[in-house]
Amino acid sequence: MQHSSRSTTLQSLVGGALALVALVLAAGAAQTSSDAGYGGVGPNFLPWVVSVALLACGGFLVWEAQSGGYRDLEEGSGAGRGDWAGFAWVSAGLLLNAALITTIGFILSCALCFVLAVRGFRSSEGRLDLGIKALLIDSAIGIAIAAPVYWMFTQLLAISLPGLTSTGWL
């Protein structure tokens, strides 16, 4: 498969971007406490492991691009263009989750994120349903996923997450 100079450059940029993400993560890890805790490792251990792995992968991708390009690439199976409406739904879900988690609590903000993400994915498939029944079903599923996660973290692991009430159950 013949690779153009443009595809080599773009492929190198992918590896470079991954290496940049690794360096940003490493900078965060360097600012995190290294005091050993439970299990003998500090809270910065995993970010260091991930940043080193990402840096190695980024370096490999750049090397691969420069030594002949990504080999045996299959033709993409997705749409020729991005679905901006779906992207907007999913982005709104993530941003609202971050904005509302301390106001309405973990369970409700994550359920809202789930509902909006489902809207986005369905929109990208051309199956967007804005009816009340779909909203209720997606909300129930979102709560059914978020509530056990919340309870596991707060009740079993004693990790503090923002709740709607001070009881620790909502």
Q: Are residues 59 and 113 in the same domain?
A: no
| pTM metric for this prediction | 0.59
In a domain, 71, yes or no: no
Instruction: Quote the domain boundaries for residue 112.
Output: 84-156
pLDDT per residue, tens digit, the chain (170 aa), is 455 677 888 899 999 999 999 999 999 888 877 776 666 667 778 889 999 999 999 999 999 999 988 877 777 766 777 889 999 999 999 999 999 998 899 999 999 999 999 999 999 888 999 999 999 999 999 999 999 999 888 878 777 877 766 655 56
Q: Are residues 35 and 92 in the same domain?
A: no
Q: How many domains in the chain?
A: 2
In a domain, 95, yes or no: yes
Q: Number of helices (H) and strands (E), helices first, in the chain?
A: 4, 0
- What whole-number distance in Å separates Cα of residue 147 and Cα of residue 84? 30
In a domain, 79, yes or no: no
